Amino acid sequence: MITRSGVPALLALRDVPDLAQDTVKDWHRAHLNPALITLMELGGYDGVRIVRAEGPWLETSDGRRLLDLVSAYGALSHGHNHPRVLAAARWFDEQRVPDLLKEFPSPWPAALAHNLAQLTPGDLDMVSLCNSGTEAVEGGLKLAMRVFAGARHRFLYAEGSLHGKTLGSLQITGREKYRGHVRRFEDWPMVPFGDAAAIARALDEDARAPGGPTIAGVVLEPVQGEGGVVVPPAGYLKEVEGLCRRHGALLILDEVQTAFGRTGHLFRCEADDVVPDVLCVAKALGGGVATVGATITRPSLHRRAYGTVNECLVHTSTFGGRARACAVSLEALNVAVEEDFPGRARRVGAFLREELEGVVARHPDLLVGVRGTGLMLGLELAPVEVPRLALPIGRGGLQKIVDAYLPGIIGAELLHGHGIVASFMLNHPRVLRVYPPLVATEADLAGVAPALDAVLSKGWPRLLAGRVQGALSQAGLSTVMEWLARW
Ligand SMILES: Cc1ncc(COP(=O)(O)O)c(C=O)c1O
């Protein structure tokens, strides 16, 4: 074990596993994201060292097994270290073919694009390969602007959406916190998710603009992920598809979370019988091993955006479409098809949903319900209303503490008491993410409902007393603590 004081100036690769946990935290603080370590400390994640992972299971340095219900925000549909995907990476390395070489036609991106074109609906046959979800979405925005030669340059998007955190995708992200101080295009219409009439009104208004329409595209997640796992009303996407066709705007579907089986369909748009103009994918496309995203569109649109020799280098990326990532991704896609990820998500999702609905029925004071579809599930916490009490922080103060801490405390209890890793959605902090890898079985997930029962049975006052004791006593609020503990 390399301690804080005994660290060599420049680490060698094989020194890394032996770094002491304190050193790892120190270096995160010094070089990466100091406040993120503070956040991890609040949830009790900072002391946990994961040394191995397989399928839905993580193994800690002290030999505990943890169940992963986060799946890297939906990227790990194949689970950790899927044997076939790892073997593909090893096999590729043995070939000694060039990984990064752009001057010649390469069989690897050609084969991956061919397979994607086979699997995607309609004539979604043109594939632009990149390295992340946000890049895939930005590729869609840029393509649409080019299709209209700049005449249409605005996008319509939904409240609660999350499409990435780079400058372009932030403009269509429906939560101020993530947009932060990034200057917003005020005139890009944001509408409630699931409300087709609002989209119709915005497109109608745009059609009457003096210089002609300016909305190039409507950007939606078919099921909102980070917004709180929101399935829109039946028929919504089909209606939006019709509206886009009527107004000549492109329908850009962000399937970064939903694609490759998670919702019980290979692509969620198939459930609604919709063929978007642009389909953005990433996350599970890399099988948890490669870093791959793709913007997929129709040949006619691709021709309009990038069809000439003069334009063919207008949208490229040094690493996008590199051979190794394409090889790994090709195998990951075949695994998703051959292991029937959509069918698994439907079958195991139905089991897990029933289990979670049982938990909701047993804890109606703390839970509102189960959201989602397939294995893209969320458990919604009820707002806790603090009773009127004669306490030194008053009702409002305690309410703030409950609102701020309770979701995190439930997560920490699941982690430390029951070996379950579950986080809350980025744009909806009262929805607990239940996104197991799609390779998880009913047996792997059988402990989830009993663990939730055990945690929630404590009731919010005791949960709070157990985990925010330090903070409250530092603030001189020991009477609150005593009261909470006696509840
Ligand atoms: C629906 C959706 N789109 C885009 C992104 C951005 O993907 P990435 O983090 O790979 O940039 C995310 C990330 O969670 C997402 O959930």
Q: What is the pLDDT of residue 400?
A: 79
Does 387 score more than 90 pLDDT? no
For residues 296 and 278, the answer to whether their CB atoms sit within 8 Å is: yes
Q: Report helix, strand or coil for 251.
A: strand
The label of the residue with tokens 């280098």 reads 313
CATH superfamily of this structure's domain 13-80+341-486:
Aspartate Aminotransferase, domain 1 (3.90.1150.10)
Ligand 1 pocket: which of 256, 258, 424, 426 to mutate (most atoms within 8 A of CB): 256
Find the mean pLDDT for residues 306-325: 97
Query: What's the Rg (C-alpha) of the chain?
Result: 24
Query: What mean pLDDT do residues 239-256 have?
Result: 98
* Atom 14, ligand 1: residue with shortest CA distance: 73
CA distance 458 to 475: 24
- 265-298 pLDDT tens trace: 999 999 999 999 999 999 999 999 999 999 999 9
Q: Which residues of 349-371 are buried (b: 16+ CB within 10 A; e: fewer)?
A: beebbebbeebbeebeebbeebb
Q: What is the 169 CA–ligand 1 centroid distance (Å)?
A: 9
pLDDT digits (tens, 9 = 90+) for 447-477: 999 999 999 999 988 888 776 665 555 555 5
CB 28 within 8 A of CB 34: yes
Q: What is the pLDDT of residue 178?
A: 82
CATH class of 83-338: alpha beta
Average pLDDT of the residues of the chain: 93
Pocket residue to mutate for ligand 1, from 257, 268, 329, 428, most atoms within 8 A of Cβ: 257
Q: How far is the CA of 73 from the centre of ligand 1 (A)?
A: 8
| Strands in 330-421 per DSSP E | 367-373, 376-381, 420-421
Q: Tally Cβ neighbours within 10 Å of residue 186.
A: 7
- Predicted confidence at residue 476, as pLDDT, reads 54
DSSP 83-151: HHHHHHHHHHHHHT--SS--SS--HHHHHHHHHHHHHSSTT--EEEEESSHHHHHHHHHHHHHHHTTTS
- What's the whole-model pTM score? 0.94
Task: List, in sequence order, every residue forming a beta bridge with 428; answer none if it has no partner.
Answer: 425
Tokens read off for 123? 């004539």
Give residue 481's pLDDT.
59
At 25, which amino acid appears? K
- Count the Cβ atoms, other than its own, within 10 Å of residue 88: 23
Q: How confident is the model at residue 406 (pLDDT cuts 50, 70, 90)?
A: confident
H-helix or E-strand containing 433?
strand 428-434
CB 136 within 8 A of CB 256: yes
109-130: average pLDDT: 98
What residue ranges of the chain are covered by domains with CATH 3.90.1150.10? Answer: 13-80+341-486
Give the containing element (helix H, strand E) for 154.
strand 154-158
Chain region(s) in the chain for CATH 3.40.640.10: 83-338
Question: How far is 407 from 428, CA to CA, in rounded Å?
Answer: 11
CA distance 223 to 175: 16
- How far is CA 235 from each of CA 238, 239, 241, 373, rounded to the nearest angstrom? 5, 6, 10, 16
Determine how many CB atoms are found less than 10 A away from the CB of residue 198. Answer: 17
In tens, the pLDDT along 1-33 reads 666 667 678 899 999 999 999 999 999 999 999
pLDDT tens digits, one per residue of 179-235? 877 887 878 999 999 999 999 999 999 999 999 999 999 999 999 999 999 999 999
